């Protein structure tokens, strides 16, 4: 997959917006167009902890983006990315059944090892949302905040495709460990599509 800058247009079908209203360090992290895992590795040893991989119901906004029938279970993968042992990112991927092979190829490694090395995988534009306790992704991610429970968490997502396979990869930025220079803690994105 090409690492060229992704295009930013409109909102996705789930209501996540194209514009990242933040400035400074958070904006740079949210707009990073390459592998987030590779970017985190610049700050120290980065590991992936797989929390879940199996069939589940997608969240409503994911169902709309993946164009799935209501009530249908899909492959879901949840991981946390740790930098120097501290949790930095909670990632949630919902996919269609055609993407199972790609998920299995990743195994216990970062999904980026598959998505960013396969030239047939295409990345869609990044979309953003400020999550709070009303969204299930916030509640799932906040459990990994290492004692810090922010009111909001910044998140981004992109749709990756390879033939019929579709994977919606969401990354929720947790309060950063002190080792990450210019870290942020629960900073919110301004505005939303809905």
| Residue 166, phi then psi, degrees to nearest 5 | -135, 125
Q: How far apart are CA 184 and CA 29, in angstroms?
A: 10
Q: Which tokens belong to 84?
A: 């120097």
Q: Residue 179 has what pLDDT?
A: 42
Residue 60 inside a domain? The answer is yes
29 pLDDT tier (thresholds 50, 70, 90): confident
Q: How far apart are CA 39 and CA 190, in angstroms?
A: 24
pLDDT above 50: residue 41: yes
Q: Residue 55 has what pLDDT?
A: 95
11 pLDDT tier (thresholds 50, 70, 90): low
Percent of the chain whose predicted confidence (pLDDT) is above 90: 37
Residue 16 inside a domain? The answer is no
CATH number of the domain residue 132 falls in: 3.40.1410.10
Q: How many domains does the chain have?
A: 1
pLDDT above 90: residue 140: yes
Residue 84 inside a domain? The answer is yes
184 vs 118 pLDDT, higher one: 118
pLDDT above 80: residue 119: yes
33 pLDDT tier (thresholds 50, 70, 90): confident
Q: Residue 18 has what pLDDT?
A: 59
Residue 44 CB partners (closer than 8 Å, separation 6+) = 83, 84, 179
Q: Residue 14 has what pLDDT?
A: 59
DSSP assignment letter at 28: H
DSSP assignment letter at 11: B
Cα dist from 13 to 6, 16, 94, 104, 178, whole Å = 18, 8, 14, 27, 36
Q: What is the pLDDT of residues 151-177, one digit of tens each?
A: 888 888 999 999 999 999 999 988 764
Residue 189 inside a domain? The answer is no
Q: What is the mean pLDDT of the chain?
A: 80
Question: To which residue do tokens 């598959």 refer?
Answer: 114
Q: Find the mean pLDDT for residues 181-192.
A: 40
HEC assignment per residue over 106-169? HCCCCCHHHHCCCCCCEECCCEEEEECCCCHHHHHHHCCCCCCCCCCEEEEEEEEEECCEEEEE
Q: Which domain holds residue 61?
A: 24-173
pLDDT above 50: residue 185: no
Residue 127 inside a domain? The answer is yes
Q: Which tokens belong to 20?
A: 């990242």
141 vs 175 pLDDT, higher one: 141
Residue 12 inside a domain? The answer is no
DSSP assignment letter at 190: P
Cα dist from 136 to 121, 130, 139, whole Å = 28, 12, 5
Question: Among 60, 93, 49, 88, which residue's Cα sits nearest to residue 75?
Answer: 93
Q: Find the mean pLDDT for residues 81-93.
A: 92
Q: How far apart are CA 74 and CA 85, in angstroms?
A: 30
32 pLDDT tier (thresholds 50, 70, 90): confident
């Amino acid at each position: 997959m090409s690492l060229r800058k992704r295009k930013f247009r409109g909102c996705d079908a789930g209501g996540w917006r194209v514009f990242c209203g933040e400035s400074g360090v958070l904006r740079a992290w949210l707009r990073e167009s390459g592998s987030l895992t590779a970017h985190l590795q610049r700050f120290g040893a980065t590991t992936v902890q797989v929390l879940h991989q199996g069939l589940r119901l997608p969240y409503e906004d994911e169902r709309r983006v993946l164009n799935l029938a209501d009530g249908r279970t899909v492959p879901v993968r949840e991981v946390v990315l740790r930098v120097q042992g501290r949790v930095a990112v909670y990632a949630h991927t919902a996919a269609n059944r055609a993407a199972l092979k790609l998920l299995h190829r990743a195994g216990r490694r970062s999904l980026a090892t598959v998505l960013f090395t396969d030239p047939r995988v295409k990345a869609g534009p990044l979309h953003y949302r400020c999550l709070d306790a009303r969204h299930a992704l916030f509640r799932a991610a906040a459990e990994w905040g290492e004692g810090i429970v922010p009111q909001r968490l910044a998140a981004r997502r992109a749709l990756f495709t390879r033939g019929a396979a579709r994977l919606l990869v969401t990354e929720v930025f947790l309060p950063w460990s002190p080792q990450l220079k210019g870290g942020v803690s629960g900073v919110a994105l301004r505005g939303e599509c809905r």
